[in-house]
Amino acid sequence: MGNRFEGRGNLGNDPVLKFVEVAGGEKRAVCELRVYFDRQVKDGDNWKEQGGFWLNVSYWGKRGEQAGKLLVKGCRVSVVGMLVQESWADKETGEEKSRLVLEADSVDLDLLRVESVRFVEKQAA
């Protein structure tokens, strides 16, 4: 059974763009993001943070490649995707480790924090 996560938060550091080998020897782009998803609640006329959490985000393919080129630390983003449990053995101790990762379907900028936009010629998706 699948799950869906939608959240808005800030990038905690610059994205890391990698090209990894997948099945069949093909190389695919993956953009790794570290996002702090905050919880804002209305407090009279103002908003107040009521806790939040950090989550690693993986964004694959051409869109991930663009995210890696355009986004920077501090960007406010909206992310939609599926939560996935990753597991591995620690290289030094052999201890089993795991973490929750968000595999993003989309990552969008919060337009309230964008000063300008420049479009490129339309390309095939």
pLDDT tens series, the chain, 125 aa = 468 999 999 999 999 999 998 888 889 999 999 999 998 888 888 888 888 999 999 999 999 999 999 999 999 999 999 999 989 899 999 999 999 999 999 999 988 878 888 887 776 66
Angle among Cα 107, 111, 113 to the nearest 5 degrees reads 105
Question: What residue type is 11 in one-letter code?
Answer: L
Instruction: Classify residue 16: in a domain, yes or no.
Output: yes
Note whether residue 123 is domain-resident: no
Which tokens go with 26? Answer: 């093909």
- Pairing verdict, β 96-109 and 16-21: unpaired
Domain count, the chain: 1
**Residue-level pLDDT at 30:** 96
CA gap 25, 68 in Å, rounded: 22
- Domain for residue 56, yes or no? yes
**Whole-angstrom Cα distance, residue 38 to residue 69?**
24
Name the E strands within 44-92: 46-60, 76-89
The model's pTM:
0.81
Inside any domain, residue 86: yes
- What distance in Å separates the CA atoms of residue 63 and residue 111, rounded to the nearest whole number? 18
Q: Which domain holds residue 38?
A: 5-113
pLDDT of residue 1: 47
User: Does some domain include residue 124?
Assistant: no
CATH of the domain at 54: 2.40.50.140
